[in-house]
């Protein structure tokens, strides 16, 4: 029996917005007015500055509807923006969401997408305060803007790393990229034999890293509890090597990182071997892990050592030294940015 789906055109733009936002609850004391007016009203806390970031996800470029569940996609679209706020050592407070939707998406499909967005907002205690919807002739486009507030001394940029600072990363790396390899493999199998069911058992961790990542708000809270203010920080969306080079370029510094220190989950190591890939290469260049990469003063080392969420992988060096990887064998290799680039061929 064919499921009866509702065309978005039956509601119209404003009807769709009302339908999707009618049960939104506001949690943040800084939110004065949310969805329902021409603009949201937000009251910055006394003496704090606003931190703002926006990202766009485009079908066929950033996600593939063949294997991206709409609820997971909605969740991820919020997370990638919250991660940018966390990368400033700030906790996110509000988001706006704008959608461009083609006619092939039913109301029920958009509801599923929005359910994932609401789940992310609920989990991170973030208010959804506005946005826009419009039609698209090519597919689905999601644009999210995230907001946070912090006193000037709390915020961390990419430009504060200094020689001898320690380079630290949260979590583990390479898992999201290897989850993508699993999905792409099963997609090709399905194309050649549509009756086959995907073989995803055993890859749950890697698939979650790709389809449903998390923003490391907990690391921001952990550093605050430890009394550690990073000297520089960035999130890992385009691969460790690329982000290290961005951080060092902004800080006018170089870095040495050590291959044996780079954290990779055993499941990712196993999957990399299965695909004939080097797991360190996946960790350096895979991207979409949304972990935090930051530098700390050497005197803060005792505060972070032994913490299961944090790994010291190297240190900051003079600019003339460049960005280098020290291999397990002791050889030195230039750290090249081979991760995601929206406009390949440009300046790396």
Checking if the pLDDT of 12 tops 70, the result is no
Distance CA 242, CA 23 (A): 40
- Percent above pLDDT 90 for the chain: 77
Q: Which superfamily does CATH assign the domain made up of 8-150 to?
A: PurM-like, N-terminal domain (3.30.1330.10)
The closest alpha carbon to 205, from 269, 261, 260, 262, belongs to 269
Q: Is the C-alpha dihedral spanning 49, 298, 222, 283 positive or negative?
A: positive
Strand partners, 332: 326
What residue spans define the domains of the chain?
A: 8-150, 166-334
Banded pLDDT at 2 (limits 50, 70, 90):
very low
| pLDDT computed for residue 199 by the predictor | 82
pLDDT digits (tens, 9 = 90+) for 243-280: 999 999 999 999 999 999 999 999 999 999 999 999 99
Identify the CATH number of the domain defined by range 166-334: 3.90.650.10
Higher pLDDT, 172 or 336: 172
pLDDT the model gives residue 343: 42
Strand ranges across the sheet with 232-235? 232-235, 292-296, 166-170, 310-317, 254-258, 323-326, 332-334
Q: Which of 28-37, 85-94, 267-276, 319-328 has the lowest mean pLDDT?
A: 28-37
> Cα separation of 268 and 178, whole Å?
7
What pLDDT shows up at residue 344?
A: 54
**So what's the pLDDT on residue 345?**
54
Q: How many CA atoms lie within 13 A of 44 on its CB side?
A: 13
Q: What is the pLDDT of residues 137-152, one digit of tens each?
A: 888 999 999 999 999 8
pLDDT given for residue 330 in this prediction: 94
Q: State pLDDT tens for residues 199-258.
A: 889 999 999 999 999 999 999 999 999 999 999 999 999 999 999 999 999 999 999 999
Please give the pLDDT value at position 1: 39
């Amino acid at each position: 029996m064919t499921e009866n789906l509702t065309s978005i055109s039956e509601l119209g733009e404003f009807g769709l917005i009302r339908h999707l936002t009618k049960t939104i609850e506001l949690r943040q004391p800084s939110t004065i007015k949310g969805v329902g007016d021409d603009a949201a009203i937000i009251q910055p806390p006394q003496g704090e500055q606003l931190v703002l970031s926006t990202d766009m996800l485009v079908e066929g470029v950033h996600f593939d509807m063949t294997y991206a569940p709409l609820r997971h996609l909605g969740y991820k679209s919020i997370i990638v923006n919250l991660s940018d706020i966390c990368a400033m050592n700030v906790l996110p407070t509000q988001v706006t969401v704008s959608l461009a939707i083609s006619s092939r998406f039913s109301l029920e499909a958009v509801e599923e997408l929005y359910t994932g967005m609401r789940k992310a907002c609920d989990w991170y205690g973030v208010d959804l305060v506005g946005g826009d919807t419009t039609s698209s002739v090519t597919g689905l486009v999601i644009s999210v803007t995230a907001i946070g507030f912090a006193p000037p001394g709390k915020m961390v940029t990419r430009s504060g790393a200094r020689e001898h600072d320690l380079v630290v990363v949260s979590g583990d790396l390479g898992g999201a990229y290897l989850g993508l390899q699993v999905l792409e493999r099963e997609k090709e199998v399905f194309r050649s034999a549509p009756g086959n069911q995907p073989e995803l058992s055993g890859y749950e961790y890697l698939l979650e890293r790709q389809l449903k990542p998390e923003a490391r708000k907990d690391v921001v809270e952990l550093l605050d509890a430890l009394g550690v203010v990073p000297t520089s920080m960035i999130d890992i969306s385009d691969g460790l090597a690329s982000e290290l080079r961005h951080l060092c370029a902004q800080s006018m510094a170089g870095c040495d990182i050590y291959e044996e220190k780079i954290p990779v989950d055993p499941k990712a190591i196993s999957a990399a071997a299965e695909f004939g890939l080097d797991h360190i290469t996946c960790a350096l260049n895979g991207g979409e892990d949304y972990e935090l990469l930051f530098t700390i003063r050497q005197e803060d080392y005792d505060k972070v050592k032994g913490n299961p969420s944090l790994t010291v992988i190297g240190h900051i060096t003079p600019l003339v030294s460049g960005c280098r990887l020290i291999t397990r064998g002791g050889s030195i290799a230039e750290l090249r940015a081979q991760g995601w680039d929206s406009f390949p061929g440009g300046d790396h």
